[in-house]
Amino acid sequence: MSAKFNVIIPDDLLERARKVADEKNISVAAIINEALRNTLEGDRISALESRVLELEKEIKKLKNRNK
Protein backbone atom coordinates (compact mmCIF):
# COMPACT_ATOMS: atom_id res chain seq x y z
CA MET A 1 0.00 0.00 0.00
CA SER A 2 1.21 3.50 -0.79
CA ALA A 3 0.11 6.96 0.21
CA LYS A 4 0.34 10.18 -1.70
CA PHE A 5 1.31 13.43 0.02
CA ASN A 6 1.65 17.01 -1.05
CA VAL A 7 4.79 18.28 0.64
CA ILE A 8 6.45 21.67 0.55
CA ILE A 9 10.21 21.27 0.31
CA PRO A 10 12.55 24.25 0.65
CA ASP A 11 14.36 25.10 -2.58
CA ASP A 12 17.80 24.26 -1.21
CA LEU A 13 16.69 20.77 -0.11
CA LEU A 14 14.94 20.14 -3.40
CA GLU A 15 18.07 21.06 -5.35
CA ARG A 16 20.18 18.76 -3.18
CA ALA A 17 17.63 15.96 -3.63
CA ARG A 18 17.65 16.46 -7.40
CA LYS A 19 21.44 16.38 -7.48
CA VAL A 20 21.58 13.12 -5.49
CA ALA A 21 18.78 11.63 -7.60
CA ASP A 22 20.68 12.48 -10.79
CA GLU A 23 23.89 10.98 -9.39
CA LYS A 24 22.08 7.76 -8.43
CA ASN A 25 19.93 7.80 -11.57
CA ILE A 26 16.70 7.51 -9.57
CA SER A 27 13.70 9.75 -8.99
CA VAL A 28 13.44 12.52 -6.40
CA ALA A 29 10.54 10.57 -4.88
CA ALA A 30 12.89 7.60 -4.40
CA ILE A 31 15.43 9.88 -2.69
CA ILE A 32 12.74 11.23 -0.34
CA ASN A 33 11.56 7.68 0.45
CA GLU A 34 15.14 6.57 1.10
CA ALA A 35 15.79 9.53 3.41
CA LEU A 36 12.58 8.91 5.34
CA ARG A 37 13.31 5.19 5.63
CA ASN A 38 16.87 5.86 6.86
CA THR A 39 15.62 8.37 9.42
CA LEU A 40 12.96 6.04 10.78
CA GLU A 41 15.31 3.07 10.83
CA GLY A 42 17.89 5.17 12.67
CA ASP A 43 15.31 6.08 15.30
CA ARG A 44 14.41 2.42 15.71
CA ILE A 45 18.04 1.41 16.11
CA SER A 46 18.61 4.16 18.68
CA ALA A 47 15.62 2.96 20.68
CA LEU A 48 16.87 -0.63 20.58
CA GLU A 49 20.39 0.40 21.58
CA SER A 50 18.95 2.30 24.54
CA ARG A 51 16.96 -0.74 25.65
CA VAL A 52 19.99 -3.00 25.32
CA LEU A 53 22.06 -0.59 27.42
CA GLU A 54 19.45 -0.67 30.19
CA LEU A 55 19.34 -4.47 30.09
CA GLU A 56 23.13 -4.65 30.28
CA LYS A 57 23.04 -2.44 33.38
CA GLU A 58 20.47 -4.73 34.99
CA ILE A 59 22.54 -7.81 34.18
CA LYS A 60 25.60 -6.19 35.76
CA LYS A 61 23.60 -5.38 38.91
CA LEU A 62 22.33 -8.95 39.15
CA LYS A 63 25.81 -10.40 38.65
CA ASN A 64 27.26 -8.13 41.33
CA ARG A 65 24.47 -9.07 43.73
CA ASN A 66 25.25 -12.78 43.34
CA LYS A 67 28.98 -12.42 44.07
Helix spans in the chain (H): 11-24, 28-65
Per residue in 8-55, pLDDT (tens digit) is 999 999 999 999 999 999 999 999 999 988 888 877 777 778 888 888
- CA distance linking residue 53 with residue 67, whole number of Å: 22
What pLDDT shows up at residue 19?
96
- CA distance linking residue 51 with residue 29, whole number of Å: 33
Domain limits of the chain?
25-65
